[in-house]
Structure 1
Amino acid sequence: MTWEEAVAFALSLPDTELGTSYGSPAVKVASNGRTFLFPGRERDTCFGIAMDLDRIEMLKETEPDTYWQTPHYEGWSGVLVRYDATDEERVRDTIRSSRDWSASLPKTRPRKRK
């Protein structure tokens, strides 16, 4: 699944919109502003999704060829998804779960400007 395919699928889910996160394109939950799909720092090989920490650990343990983290993401609610994942339906299910998890979170608060 390419970045473009992942974005297209994510935008087909309810209550989603294209936005930005840290200056890069991202897909967000429209009603609360939470980013759930983002390009990640390893843009050539994967994209990232938001997910609760327990689920991230389970995904990394059971499907390490698809789901992984660099030290940058460890301890944070984001997991990387390799573009060359063989089970695209599983990846779509995980993107859907990411949207659902992100939609359950409270609305983001504006950051204070320095």
Structure 2
Amino acid sequence: MATWADVRRLALALPGAVEGTSYGGQAWKVRDKAFVWERPLRRADVAHLGDAAPHGPVLGVAVADEGVKHALIADDPAVYLTTPHFDGYAVVLVRLDAVDVPELAELVTEAWLAKAPKRLAQEHLAAGRTDPAT
């Protein structure tokens, strides 16, 4: 089970990542672009999800495209979800208390790669750093 401390540690280990806020919640950004953030469910989200609405912490994660989002949700709906608010956006919601830390590390890295400037991402990949802990 992952925690906000894990999110913070993994996100801040990536080049150019900073911690800030977005809509009153914690967010981790690269060059002013959020790549992972705290995303409490709103009333409309809970109404839409009904009994399937998670009760624990929810992490918003940028993904490469909507295909990736839908693949994650189809592969593991116990961990990944979306709401109508994110229709048309390359963002997936993650039940933080249902994802393990190695999977979270991959999500955070991929989210960073989706939002980082191309040159910074290429330099990071060229250095062989695919794990944010390195």
**Global fold match (TM > 0.5):** yes
- Residue 76 of structure 1: aligned partner: 89
Q: 1:74 to 1:39 in 2, by over 3 A?
A: same
Which structure features the higher share of helix residues?
2
Does residue 9 of structure 1 match 2:10? Answer: yes
TM-score (norm 2): 0.68
SS in 2 for 1:6: helix
- Cα offset, 1:54, TM superposition: 1.5
CA distance in 2, matches of 1:88, 1:19: 22
CA distance in 1, matches of 2:71, 2:117: 20
The AA in structure 2 aligned to 1:101 is A
Q: Percent same amino acid among aligned pairs?
A: 32
RMSD of Structure 2 on Structure 1 (CA)? 1.9
Does residue 101 of structure 1 match 2:109? Answer: no
> Gaps spanning 5+ residues in structure 2: where?
42-54, 119-134
CA distance in 2, matches of 1:86, 1:101: 20
TM-score (norm 1): 0.78
> Gaps spanning 5+ residues in structure 1: where?
106-114
Superposed counterparts of 1:1-114, under 5 Å: 1-29=2-30, 32-42=31-41, 44-51=56-63, 52-104=65-117
CA distance in 1, matches of 2:3, 2:86: 21
